[in-house]
Amino acid sequence: MSRSLVNDIKQGAREVKRSVKKAISEADSTASSSPSSTAFSSSSSSSSKKGFGSGSGKKSSKKSGGGGGFSFGFDGDVWLSKNASKRHTEKTFLWLSLAWVSCFALVVALQIYKSFRDVEYMCLGLAVSLPFVIVPIFYPAEAERNTPITQRYFLKANVWIFFFGFVGNYFWTHYFYKVLGASYTFPVKIMLNEVPVFLYLVTHAYFCSYHTVSTIILRRFWRSFKPSSPIVQLIGSSVVILVMAIITAFMETYTISEVPYYSHTNKYLMYTVGSVFYGIYFIVSFPMFYRLDEKPGDKWDLGRAAVDGLGAAMLVFILLDFWRLSLPSIGTSSRSWRGVPYFE
């Protein structure tokens, strides 16, 4: 009786073992036949070998925490996009950002700008902005070499930034003139709506860099911070976006403060109140730009990128005008400029 029972148990164990092996085999074959799984596995494998910049997969795994939770490691899979085109463009834009910042630092440190006039400033503007358009054309991601240029992420990103930045220069600069007491006195004659044209070009480089970095940080935050409460998620996201926006605005204001052609009536208020005012741009634009080609299967076209950039600009426009109507201008004790800033 006992021997029969032992045999039955052994037979049952063998059946369970066969069933488990069969289930694992079927799961493996299903995963390998799925295009999205294959692409993701390939991307993950490549990224785990390289990490964010260099190093082995084991090192990257250790840095990123591996076990989940709220961790800020430097594994490329959690910082950069899984979209090959977007991932490649983000890396390219980071290198281009380093290049133009170095160029600007050299121009300011050596005070070369003091001899600049229209031609030199226009050349400077083109030198820092055009690479964001040209370099990705000649240095595309391997996965998009056969993709039409109009469908590549870099062009959609440039279109979004162009419209957002154009509205910012053409209209919002006048809020700086009237509400914040700022002024430009560059020795140039090529202007568009009382704003030097070369600043439109420089702004494009600035904004490409800002929005690339903000997208990477937001992606890392949202992949790490996953509370059960949507309210906590909203509060956490709002704090991160607000801090990034104000720091970005302050750092730009501070770094150009010594340029003699950019002045303001009250430097302290410009650093503090002015940084919050300027930060409104990025409170709106950072999370909106992040959405561009971020969701798997949701590919944007150029038209959608243009409309979204203009939509973000309109929202910023409304918020800036609310500020104008509600708060005092810098350097005055009265309510802000009552007319529309760009109309005398």
Report the C-alpha gap between 167 and 306 in whole angstroms.
12
3-state secondary structure of 196: strand
Q: Is the pLDDT of residue 206 over 90?
A: yes
Whether 282 is covered by a domain: the verdict is yes
What was the pLDDT predicted at 344? 53
Q: Is the pLDDT of residue 282 over 50?
A: yes
Whether 337 is covered by a domain: the verdict is no
**Average pLDDT score over the chain:** 81
Report the C-alpha gap between 143 and 226 in whole angstroms.
31
* List of residues 6+ apart from 177 with CB closer than 8 A: 183, 194, 341
Q: Is the pLDDT of residue 97 over 80?
A: yes
Whether 273 is covered by a domain: the verdict is yes
Report the C-alpha gap between 307 and 312 in whole angstroms.
9
CB atoms < 10 A from the CB of 151, how many?
15
Confidence at 24, pLDDT banded by 50, 70, 90: very low
Model pLDDT for residues 153-201, shown as the tens digit of each residue: 999 999 999 999 999 999 999 999 888 888 889 999 999 999 999 999 9
Q: Is the pLDDT of residue 14 over 70?
A: no
Q: Is the pLDDT of residue 246 over 70?
A: yes
Whether 40 is covered by a domain: the verdict is no
Confidence at 21, pLDDT banded by 50, 70, 90: low
Whether 55 is covered by a domain: the verdict is no
Residue 262: φ, ψ to 5°? -125, 115
Residue 110: φ, ψ to 5°? -90, 0
Whether 203 is covered by a domain: the verdict is yes
Model pLDDT for residues 34-87, shown as the tens digit of each residue: 444 444 334 444 444 444 334 444 444 444 443 334 444 445 567 889 888 999
Mean pLDDT score, 147-154: 94
* List of residues 6+ apart from 208 with CB closer than 8 A: 93, 96, 97, 132, 157, 158, 161
What was the pLDDT predicted at 22? 52
Residue burial 317-344, b: 16+ Cβ < 10 Å; e: rest: beebbebbeeeebbeeeeebbeeebbee
* List of residues 6+ apart from 306 with CB closer than 8 A: 159, 160, 163
Domain encompassing residue 117 = 73-326
Q: Is the pLDDT of residue 328 over 60?
A: yes
Whether 46 is covered by a domain: the verdict is no
Q: List the beta strands (DSSP E) in 37-142.
A: none
> Looking at the 3D structure of the chain, how many domains does it have?
1
Model pLDDT for residues 102-128, shown as the tens digit of each residue: 999 899 888 899 999 999 999 999 999
Confidence at 30, pLDDT banded by 50, 70, 90: very low
Report the C-alpha gap between 104 and 79 in whole angstroms.
27
CA distances from 231 to 14, 154, 157, 178, 227 (A): 51, 34, 30, 38, 9
